Amino acid sequence: MPSQQSEPPDDRLARLRGPQPPQPYTARKITALTANPACARRAVLDAAGVDKALLAQQVGYEPRFGQSPFALAREQAFHGLVKWGGYAELIRLLREQLSVPVAEAHVTDLNEVGGNTALPVRERETRRLIAHVASGQDVRLILDRPVLALEVAGQTAYLEPDALTHRIEGKFHVVLIRSFAAIDGQANPTAVAEAAKQAAVYVLALRRAFDTAGLPIEQISHKFLLVCPKDFSNRPYGRLIDLRQELDALQFQLSRLRRAEDLAAGLPETATLDTTRSTDELSSSIEALDASYTPSCLSFCEMARYCRDEADGCASPARLGNGVRNDLPGIDSTRTALDYLDGVAAPGEAEVEAADLLRAAARLRRLRRGAA
């Protein structure tokens, strides 16, 4: 389970969240954030560490999102199996599947450092060990639950990959343990794609750790090791997966995120995202943050039902998907678009082209109906 975010975010963000403990950034959250980089609402909620599922509930929306308790329990059980006996199964996989001479591999537990579980402390210790291993002093080390730092929307996110392992083909590899099965060597492509996006977050964070330590990032593999159950058994199976595409996309998307502090600074002084406050206070504060709803939000954001109703209410073209939004540049409401079509209103200079296209589309539709 992810640990608490131990370094408080910026004061304004912490004040917005109120007395609740901050929710940590996770690789899953970062990939969701980069899936909709234009959304100021999500950027501020995540940077402030707000519990979005609880917030959605407090304003009257069941998030209906996240893994089922059954799936979580299965994932935890599989993690336990892979890690059992000092990562015996992972070491077997490295030896059998990837021809790594790891007979004498050993594991360093980074779940705590001398009894201290604070993320910044574990992150410092992770960097120290990485420098130690990268210098060639210890080539058979597996780091269990290391902590890596990454800048996200101007905030430091502390991330916990399942494991890092050294020297498969002389390079560091991120390891992800997932409980979806690989049947005859093939796992569900959607689940693998999601795991790859999260692994890319860890690889970028690992590059940052190398950079900070003055180590060559060429020592970091652009492939990660995915470990999942083989066929219908619980026997762990491992496969290296190339991440170059995901890394390029993620780097680009992270560079487009605006600083959450700057976005929060634009809110009224009375704004609050404290989930113990009244529904009215919360709703008006959420509304003050610009959202960028698209139907894909339903697959990754706890606020999606709230934002969908809001987009419905103002007839946002994005409610119908990015395709419609892109086809109606400058027109911020489908009602306005219909008024242009019906001749009830005249488009402005910036909207003429989109309105012409709409009329042409409507003409074609009428012709097709007439021909039918």
Residue with Cβ nearer ligand SF4 (262 or 356) = 262
Query: According to CB under 6 A, which one of 41, 145, 166, 167 is a site residue for ligand SF4?
Result: 41
**Is residue 293 close enough to count as binding ligand SF4 by CB under 6 A?**
yes
Q: Binding residue for ligand SF4 (CB under 6 A) from 30, 149, 182, 291?
A: 291
CB of 35 to ligand SF4, least distance (A): 8
Region near ligand SF4 per CB under 6 A, out of 12-20, 233-241, 303-311, 353-361: 303-311
CA distance 121 to 55: 30
Q: Residue 244 class from Cβ within 10 Å (0-12 exposed, 13-18 middle, 19+ buried)?
A: exposed
Q: Can you tell me which of 282, 301, 355, 358 binds ligand SF4, judged by CB under 6 A?
A: 301
Nearer to ligand SF4, 83 or 305 (CB): 305
CB 282 within 8 A of CB 232: no
Q: Which of 8, 6, 18 is nearest to 47 (CA)?
A: 8
Neighbouring-strand partners of residue 158? 149
Pick between residue 120 and residue 154 the one whose CB is nearest to ligand SF4. 154
Using rule CB under 6 A, residue 325 touches ligand SF4: no
What's the closest the beta carbon of residue 40 comes to ligand SF4, in angstroms? 8
Count of residues engaged in binding ligand SF4, rule: CB under 6 A? 12
Q: Is 129 in the site for ligand SF4 (CB under 6 A)?
A: no
Interacting span for ligand SF4 (CB under 6 A) from 160-168, 212-220, 301-309, 353-361? 301-309
Backbone torsions φ then ψ of 241, nearest 5 degrees: -125, 130
DSSP 264-316: HHTS-TT----TTS-HHHHHHHHHTS-----GGGGGT-TTHHHHHHHHHHTT-
Asked if residue 16 lies in contact with residue 37, where contact means CB atoms within 8 angstroms, the answer is no
Q: Is 165 in the site for ligand SF4 (CB under 6 A)?
A: no
CB 370 → ligand SF4: shortest distance, Å?
Answer: 40
Report the DSSP pairing between strands 236-242 and 223-229.
Answer: antiparallel
Residue 108 has a CB neighbour count (10 Å cut-off) of 17
304 binds ligand SF4 (CB under 6 A): yes
Q: What b/e string do you get for 205-239 counting C-beta neighbours within 10 Å, with b at 16 or more?
A: bbbbbbeeeebeeebbbbbbbbbbbbeeeeebbbb
* Closer of 93 and 291 to ligand SF4 (Cβ): 291
For residue 348, which amino acid is it? Answer: G
> Rounded distance, CA 329 to CA 133, Å?
53
The nearer residue to ligand SF4, 46 or 125, going by C-beta atoms, is: 46
- Applying CB under 6 A, the span of 38-46, 222-230, 260-268, 335-343 interacting with ligand SF4 comes to 38-46
What's the closest the beta carbon of residue 280 comes to ligand SF4, in angstroms? Answer: 19
Single residue of 297, 337, 354, 355 touching ligand SF4 by CB under 6 A = 297
Give the start-end residues of each E strand in the chain.
106-109, 141-144, 148-152, 155-159, 163-168, 171-177, 182-183, 186-187, 223-229, 236-242
**Binding of ligand SF4 by 292 (CB under 6 A):** yes
| Window contacting ligand SF4 (CB under 6 A); options: 21-29, 35-43, 145-153, 235-243 | 35-43
Min separation Cβ 48 and ligand SF4, Å:
13
| String of contacts with ligand SF4 for each residue 51-70, x by CB under 6 A | --------------------
Residue 42, interface with ligand SF4 (CB under 6 A)?
yes
CA 360, CA 126: separation in Å to the nearest integer?
A: 60
Tokens 């639950």 found at? 145
The C-alpha atoms of residue 293 and residue 308 are separated, in whole angstroms, by 7
Smaller CB distance to ligand SF4: residue 237 or 293? 293
Contacts of 95 (CB under 8 A, 6+ apart): 101, 102, 103
By CB under 6 A, name the binding residues for ligand SF4.
36, 39, 41-42, 291-293, 297, 301, 303-304, 307
